[in-house]
Structure 1
Amino acid sequence: MIYTQLKYVDNRICPPGEHQCNDGTCISIDFKCDGKDDCADRSDEANCTCDSHEWRCNDGKCIDNRRRCDGYKDCDDISDEEDCPYACESSEWQCNDGSCIPKSQRCDHTYHCADQSDEDDCDGCSHGEWQCRDGSCVPSSARCNNIRECSDSSDEEYCPGIVCKEDEFGCHDDGTCIPSYLVCDGRPYCKDGSDELNCERPECTSNQFRCHDNGYCIPEILRCDGQKYCYDGSDEWDCSTDHWMSSRGIYLR
């Protein structure tokens, strides 16, 4: 006698308005790709794609692209507000730390970003050389030696200890000159931060947090979220352990 092993297959079909899980279970079509596992086998969240105008949360939920990094939690897992850089203007360049500087200061041989990223990957001169604004190269030792060796004299601009021009500000610690429009812009360019002293600060709204160092306002939702948005990190000071750590995806108590 020959025995044949038969495998039972559930061929039921879900009615209109329902989605069939891979195991045959039927759920409401509204639960398909909603960012939550409603099928026991999680098949309702597999192969989900968002529309071109949408951004997909880490949990699979789709939100409007404009809600990404807007300071408000739209994803249930808060992934839409994670790893958000500062939004720079079209005329600005973004440093690796998220701060913004005028594009004209990118690769100008003067550090304007706190992390000095504005001078990274700049084309031109070899190691040990400094590039003039006109593109020519001079020895690094020629920078700020009181001898104009660049044809455009850029090797002697913004040097410590010199008299600043009328449209420049002299830093208190070493006399470095910076453009006046950088004074009181909420971002320190002088090493001692003197360009941000005695400045009138904007009023923060009820749903914003004021950074301690420069008075900058950031969305309150970024307060105690495990990521530093204020330069001095004051948005992560005095945080209790009873809050959502969005950067790690866990809730601590």
Structure 2
Amino acid sequence: TSIPSLPGISTMESLREAMPYFELILDSGCSQRARQFLCTLLEPECQPLGSSVTPPCRNTCKVVAEECSDFIINILDLSQIFKCDNYPDSEDECINLARGDQCFSKETSCGDGSCIPKRWKCNGVLDCKNGIDEVNCTTCNKYQYACESKDSCIPLEWRCDGNADCEDGSDEINCHQEEEMVMHSHASPCPAGELRCVDGRCITLQQICDGNKDCSDGADEANCRIQYKS
């Protein structure tokens, strides 16, 4: 028996083997959209005879894949389910699970009935069809830290000071590797608001955990609990 709606899982046996991993993802609470996404794949709506199953939309896959990346294991081809290019982007061909009367607590409304994660707002990418997520964005200067919610700036010296100054608490996330970089820094200081890599290169706080290895040893991307969307 084939499982046409599940990329990378083609038999009932492989589906049974994958179920514990699905349960792990759901139990972790890593994404508010995970249950909708997996249920749409595992229990698709009935279609007329001869019609193909309608999959979830690509954007929902991206949300779950980002938020649950720590639980997506490259085993039994399970990761194929979270390769979001496998899913259509047009709502004529897929189910937009992020469309409804209300958004989840970690989401923001596009104003057209659809929702996106708050972290996608003001990230330089038009995620809402109407582009409203890139309107009225706060621009921080080099002496300020941009809160992950993108709606406020705080002084750089408030970053990792033990107090959550951003409303979303993002200024106190991933502080461990910043402390390690300071401990391994060279005697010659970097400019104000920057940290020194082991190789002597200076980087800004915004370059830590941004998805790009700016230090030659990759220390700025080590032990990141979050990854910024590219």
TM tier, smaller: under 0.3
**Greater fraction helix:** 2
> TM-score, normalization: structure 2?
0.22
Q: Tell me: higher relative CO, structure 1 or 2? Use CA pairs within 8 A at least 6 residues apart.
A: 2
